C-alpha cells in the first residue's frame, strides 16, 4: 500500500510542476501574442518585412519548447522540425510564411496556451496552498483578537467556523488531488495535438518534397550528362580525332619518307596527351578523387587555394557526410567561387563549412560571402522553394546551385543588396 501511495504522490507533484512551468511561460506567450497583434496590421504596409519572420521564428521556437515539455511529461516521442527563417524576405514570401500550415499551428497553440496556462498554473499553486493553509491555520483562531479575527474564506470567530474552514481546506485538497493530474494531461495532450503535424499533412508535405527533389535530381542529372557530353565532344573527342588524323598522315609519310613521319607522330603524341588530360578532367568533374583522399575539408582547401581572389576557409565543426552530399557540396562551392571571381569584383571571399544538428538529421551548411558589388539573385524560375535573393542580376550559375541543392532536398538563399556584400548559404541534408 505504501508504494502505490508514494507513486500517486509523485504523479501529483510531477503534474503540479508541469502546470507551474506552463504558468510561468504564460508571460512569454502573452508578450508574443501582444507583439503579433500590434505588428500584423502593419504587414500590408511593408513594415513587417523584417520583424515578422523573426516573430514567427520566435513563435516556432516557443512552440518547439512547449512541445518538448509536453512530450517529456507524457513520455511521448514526437517529431518537430524547427523552421529557419533568418535572412531577408520579399513581401510575397512573408505573406506565404504567415499563411503557412506551420504558422497556423503555432498561432493556434499560442492562443490555447494564453487561454489556459495561467489558470492551470494558478490552480497548481492555489489548491494545495489553500488546503494546507485552511486545515492548519483554522484551529489557531483563538490567538487572534476579536477586533482582527483570522480571515480565510470567511472570518473565523468560532469553533464551528473553524471546523467549516478545515472542511473547506480538505475539499480544496481533494480537488487538487483529483484535478491537477487531469489538468496536466489535458494541457499536455492539447499542446501535442495542436503542434504535432497532422499525419495527412505530414505525408502530403513529404510527397511534395520528394516529388520536387526527384524533379530537381532528374534536371540536375540531365544537365550533368549534357555538360559531360559537351566536354567529351569538344575536348577529348576532337583531340582523339586529331590523333587519328596525325597517325594517318604519319603512316602515309612513312611509306615514302620515314623521316617525314616523325613530326606527325610527335603531334599525335601531343594530341593524345591533351586528350588524356581532358578525360581526367571530365572524370574529376564527375566525382573528384580528392574527396576520397582528403575529405570535403581538404577538397575545399584545394579549391580556395586556387581562387584568384584571396579566400579564407573555416571548417570548424565540419563532419563527414555521405559521398553524394560531399560531392554536391564540392561542386556548389566550386560554382560559388567561380561566380564570385567572374562577377563580384570582390577583394576578399570567406568560406564556412560546418555540420549543424537539427532534430532528426544533420545538415551540411556551405556559406560563401564576399565584399563585392552585390546584385546577385536566383533566377525567378528556380527561386521558388529554394529561397530568394535580393538584387538586380541573375545568372545560370546560381540556378545550377539551386538545382543541385534541391536535388538533395536542400535550400539555397542569397542575400546580395546592390553595393554588396553578398552572402550565399546552401543547406544540404545529410540524411536525404
For the residues 160-176, what does the mean pLDDT come to? 80
Mean pLDDT of 372-399: 54
Those residues whose C-beta lies under 8 Å from the C-beta of residue 415, and which sit 6 or more positions away, are 87, 88, 389, 390, 422, 423
Predicted confidence (pLDDT) at residue 54 exceeds the cutoff of 70: yes
Query: Which one is predicted more confidently, 10 or 359?
Result: 10
> Would you state the pLDDT for residue 2?
44
399 with 392: CB under 8 angstroms? no
pLDDT in tens, 336-351: 888 888 888 888 999 9
Out of 47-56, 57-66, 201-210, which region has the weakest mean confidence (pLDDT)?
Answer: 201-210
Task: Look at 61 and 81; give whichever has higher pLDDT.
Answer: 61
Question: So what's the pLDDT on residue 172?
Answer: 78
Cα gap 81→381, rounded to integer Å: 27
Work out the mean pLDDT of the chain and round it to a whole number.
75
Q: Element (H or E) spanning 290, and its range? A: helix 289-305
pLDDT of residue 387: 37
pLDDT band at 232 (very low <50, low <70, confident <90, very high): low
- Beta bridge pairs of residue 394: 377
Residue 268's pLDDT is what? Answer: 74
In Å, the largest CA–CA distance within the chain is: 140
pLDDT band at 360 (very low <50, low <70, confident <90, very high): low
Beta bridge partners of residue 150, listed in sequence order? 156
pLDDT tens string 112-138: 888 888 888 888 877 788 788 778 877
pTM above 0.85? no
Instruction: Give me 269's grid cell.
Output: 603524341
CA dihedral of 81, 84, 90, 96, whole degrees rounded to 10: 10
Element (H, E) at 357: strand 349-358
Q: What is the pLDDT of residue 285?
A: 56
Of 43 and 353, more confident: 353
- Distance (Å, whole) CA 395 – CA 398: 6
Mean pLDDT of the 43-53 span: 65
- Count of alpha carbons within 13 Å of 247, Cβ hemisphere only? 10
Asked if the bond preceding 421 is cis, omega within 30° of 0, the reply is yes
**Per-residue three-class SS string for 351-382:** EEEEEEEECCEEEEEEEEEECCCCCEECCHHH
Phi, psi of 387 (to 5 degrees): 90, 160
| Per-residue pLDDT at 84 exceeds 50 | yes
Shortest CA distance to 101 belongs to which of 160, 56, 168?
56
* CB count in 10 Å sphere of residue 99: 9
Q: CA-to-CA distance for 372 and 102, rounded, in angstroms?
A: 36
Task: Count Cα atoms within 13 angstroms, Cβ side, for 19.
Answer: 28
Span 268-316, pLDDT tens digits: 777 777 777 766 666 555 566 677 777 888 888 888 888 888 898 898 8
Amino acid at each position: 500500500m505504501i508504494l502505490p501511495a508514494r507513486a500517486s504522490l509523485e504523479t501529483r507533484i510531477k503534474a503540479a510542476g508541469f502546470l507551474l512551468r506552463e504558468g510561468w511561460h504564460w508571460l512569454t506567450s502573452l508578450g508574443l501574442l501582444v507583439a503579433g497583434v500590434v505588428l500584423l496590421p502593419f504587414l500590408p504596409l511593408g513594415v513587417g518585412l523584417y520583424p515578422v519572420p523573426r516573430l514567427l521564428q520566435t513563435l516556432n521556437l516557443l512552440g518547439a519548447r512547449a512541445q518538448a515539455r509536453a512530450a517529456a511529461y507524457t513520455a511521448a516521442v514526437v517529431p518537430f522540425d524547427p523552421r529557419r527563417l533568418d535572412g531577408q524576405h520579399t513581401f510575397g514570401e512573408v505573406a506565404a510564411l504567415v499563411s503557412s500550415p506551420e504558422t497556423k499551428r503555432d498561432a493556434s497553440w499560442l492562443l490555447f496556451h494564453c487561454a489556459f496556462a495561467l489558470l492551470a498554473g494558478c490552480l497548481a499553486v492555489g489548491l494545495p496552498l489553500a488546503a494546507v493553509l485552511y486545515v492548519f491555520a483554522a484551529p489557531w483562531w483563538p490567538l487572534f483578537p476579536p477586533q482582527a479575527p483570522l480571515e480565510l474564506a470567511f472570518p473565523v470567530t468560532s469553533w464551528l467556523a473553524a471546523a467549516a474552514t478545515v472542511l473547506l481546506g480538505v475539499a480544496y485538497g481533494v480537488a487538487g488531488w483529483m484535478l491537477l493530474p487531469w489538468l496536466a494531461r489535458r494541457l499536455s495532450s492539447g499542446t501535442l495535438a495542436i503542434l504535432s503535424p497532422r499525419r495527412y499533412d505530414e505525408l502530403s508535405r513529404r510527397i511534395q518534397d520528394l516529388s520536387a527533389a526527384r524533379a530537381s535530381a532528374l534536371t540536375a542529372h540531365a544537365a550533368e550528362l549534357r555538360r559531360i557530353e559537351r566536354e567529351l565532344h569538344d575536348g577529348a573527342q576532337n583531340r582523339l580525332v586529331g590523333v587519328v588524323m596525325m597517325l594517318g598522315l604519319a603512316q602515309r609519310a612513312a611509306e615514302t619518307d620515314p623521316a617525314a613521319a616523325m613530326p606527325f607522330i610527335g603531334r599525335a603524341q601531343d594530341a593524345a596527351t591533351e586528350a588524356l588530360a581532358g578525360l581526367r578532367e571530365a572524370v574529376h568533374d564527375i566525382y573528384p578523387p580528392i574527396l576520397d583522399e582528403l575529405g570535403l575539408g581538404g577538397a575545399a582547401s584545394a579549391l580556395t587555394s586556387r581562387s584568384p581572389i584571396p579566400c579564407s576557409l573555416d571548417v570548424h565543426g565540419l563532419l563527414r557526410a555521405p559521398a553524394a552530399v560531399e560531392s554536391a557540396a564540392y561542386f556548389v562551392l566550386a560554382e560559388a567561387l567561380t561566380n564570385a571571381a567572374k562577377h563580384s569584383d570582390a577583394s576578399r571571399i570567406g568560406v564556412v563549412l560546418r555540420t549543424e544538428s537539427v532534430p532528426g538529421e544533420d545538415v551540411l551548411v556551405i556559406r560563401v560571402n564576399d565584399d563585392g558589388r552585390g546584385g546577385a539573385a536566383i533566377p525567378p524560375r528556380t527561386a521558388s522553394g529554394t529561397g530568394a535573393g535580393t538584387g538586380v542580376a541573375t545568372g545560370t550559375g546560381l540556378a545550377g546551385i539551386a538545382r543541385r541543392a534541391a536535388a538533395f532536398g536542400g535550400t539555397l538563399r542569397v542575400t546580395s543588396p546592390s553595393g554588396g556584400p553578398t552572402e550565399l548559404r546552401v543547406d544540404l541534408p545529410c540524411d536525404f
